[in-house]
C-alpha cells in the first residue's frame, strides 16, 4: 500500500471543496431577523364604539359650521348668504356674527376683479374686531 502525503495547500483546497456555501443561508437568516424585528413591536389598538340601539338615536342635529364665509364681490358683500351693499352693513353683520358665536373662523372669498383696497379694508376691520383666524379662499387657474 502506497500513501501519498498531501501538502498543506492540497488539504486546504480539499476542505474548501467539501464545505457547503453558507451565503444563501445567511441571506435568509437576515431576512427572517428583519421580519421578526418589525412584526414583534406591533401594538394593536382598538376603539370602543357604542352603536345606537334604534334609528331615533342616530338622528341628531348637525353642529354649527366652524367657519363663516365672507364674499367680497364687485358691488356688494355677502356674509353667510346675506347680501349687503355697504361696508357699514358688513360691519354690523360681522359684529352680530361674532357676538352670536365667538371664535368662529372667517373664510374670505373674493372675486378676482375686486380692488385690493376693498380686501385690505375688510381684513383691517376683522383684525380690529379681534378676529385673527381669517383664511383667504383662492381658486387655482387652469390655463
Q: What would the pLDDT profile of 85-120 be if each residue is shown by its tens digit? A: 888 888 888 888 877 777 777 778 877 778 878 888
CA distance 76 to 90: 9
Instruction: Provide the number of structural domains found in the chain.
Output: 1
Is 106 a member of any domain? yes
Is 109 a member of any domain? yes
Q: What is the dihedral of CA 5, 7, 11, 13, to 10 degrees?
A: -140
Residue with cell 351693499: 85
* Beta bridge mates, 107: 69, 135
Is 14 a member of any domain? no
Are residues 75 and 115 in contact, defined by beta-carbon separation less than 8 angstroms? Answer: no
Is 54 a member of any domain? no
Residue with cell 378676529: 131
User: Taking phi first (over 0 means left), then psi (-120 to 50 degrees means alpha), and beta for anything else, what does residue 130 get?
Assistant: left
Is 119 a member of any domain? yes
Q: For the domain that residue 90 is a member of, what is the CATH number?
A: 3.30.420.270
Is 38 a member of any domain? no
Q: What is the pTM of this model?
A: 0.48
pLDDT at 4 over 60: no
State which residues form the domain around 87. Answer: 67-137
Q: Which helix H or strand E contains 95, and what residues bound it?
A: helix 87-100
pLDDT category, 6, cuts 50, 70, 90?
low
pLDDT at 32 over 90: yes
Amino acid at each position: 500500500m502506497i500513501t501519498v502525503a498531501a501538502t498543506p495547500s492540497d488539504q486546504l483546497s480539499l476542505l474548501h471543496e467539501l464545505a457547503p456555501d453558507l451565503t444563501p443561508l445567511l441571506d435568509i437568516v437576515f431576512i427572517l431577523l428583519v421580519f421578526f424585528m418589525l412584526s414583534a413591536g406591533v401594538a394593536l389598538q382598538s376603539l370602543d364604539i357604542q352603536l345606537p340601539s334604534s334609528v331615533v338615536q342616530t338622528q341628531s342635529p348637525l353642529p354649527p359650521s366652524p367657519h363663516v364665509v365672507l364674499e367680497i364681490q364687485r358691488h356688494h358683500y355677502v356674509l353667510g348668504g346675506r347680501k349687503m351693499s355697504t361696508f357699514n352693513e358688513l360691519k354690523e353683520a360681522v359684529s352680530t356674527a361674532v357676538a352670536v358665536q365667538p371664535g368662529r373662523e372667517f373664510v374670505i372669498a373674493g372675486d378676482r376683479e375686486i380692488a385690493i383696497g376693498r380686501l385690505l379694508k375688510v381684513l383691517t376691520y376683522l383684525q380690529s374686531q379681534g378676529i385673527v383666524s381669517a383664511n383667504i379662499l383662492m381658486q387655482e387657474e387652469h390655463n
